[in-house]
Amino acid sequence: MVDEDGYFGEHVAARYDADEAEMFAAEAVDPAVTLLARLAGRGRALELGVGTGRIALPLARRGIPVHGIDLSRAMVARLRAKPGGDDIGVTLGDFATTRVAGSFSVAYLVFNTLMNLTSQQAQVDCFRNVADHLEPGGTFVVEVMVPELRKLPPGAQAVPFQIGPTRWAYDVYDVATQAMSSHYVDVVDGRGSFTSTPFRYVWPAELDLMAQLAGLRLRERRGGWAGEPFTGESQRHVSVWQKPVHADGKGR
């Protein structure tokens, strides 16, 4: 990950909520918040990559104390400017390694944000960091895409996902390293600009191994927040891993 002036600086923060308006709609937010609130129970929630508060704010409105970790000062400033934003505790730092005080009953990482960690080691470190923050019986929830490699014809590397009169966007995959990047061409007043953000895609089974290395076990995997079955055709998954209650590794 890069510093707050890099990929998620003011140039992204200023338009993030508008660019991702569909993800701020009630039908996208409410099912996620409902599941997270249930898992939190009477405990605290830790959001990795809290951003502008898309999930943290409505979760806090349900009475769940939320603390966030984020690398971007610009994104956190947008969170702070919203009603209730000052009630969300935020620690600035890389969520793969940054520690905060106390323990949590649920930690979560949504909307493909895990892929902002661009190496396997960083993703493993993230699972270990979360495990250290969870209380016994606590859960770690990740929402992330299933890699769309089946869309790649032989010899191709790019998959377009947005084509319009003022924006073209496409993902580029390196199947040898699992590196990928999203590229955007925007046209404003007849002038074009180009931006690119690196990611690392990750498979569900690989995540299960990362969880195992961190001492967590898979509790459930869904095809979405509403509880859809996870199948070979699912484009994303919402996975829940649990920290054992007892030292012998047995859960509740």
- Structural domain harbouring 90: 10-146+202-242
User: Residue 39 domain-assigned?
Assistant: yes
**Residues 70-79: pLDDT tens digits?**
999 999 999 9
Say whether both 126 and 210 belong to one domain: yes
pLDDT (mean) for 146-154: 93
Within-domain flag for 251: no
Residue 2 in this model has a pLDDT that exceeds 50: no
More confident residue, 249 or 63: 63
Does a structural domain hold residue 248? Answer: no
In-domain check, residue 132: yes
Buried/exposed 202-225: b ≥16 CB within 10 Å, e otherwise: bebeebbebbeebebeeeebbbbb
Question: 45 and 161: one domain?
Answer: no
Number of folded domains in the chain? Answer: 2
Angle between helical axes of 120-133 and 204-213 (0-180°, round to 10): 50
Q: Which of 82, 83, 36 is nearest to 55 (CA)?
A: 36
Whole-model pTM? 0.93
- The answer to whether position 4 is within a domain reads no
- Indicate the helix (H) or strand (E) that contains 79: helix 73-80
Residues 136 and 100 in one domain: yes
pLDDT tens-digit profile of 181-208?
A: 999 999 999 999 999 999 999 999 999 9
Instruction: Examine the domain organization and report whether 109 and 66 are in the same domain.
Output: yes
Q: Is residue 211 part of a domain?
A: yes
Across the range 166-177, mean pLDDT stands at: 95
In a domain, 247, yes or no: no
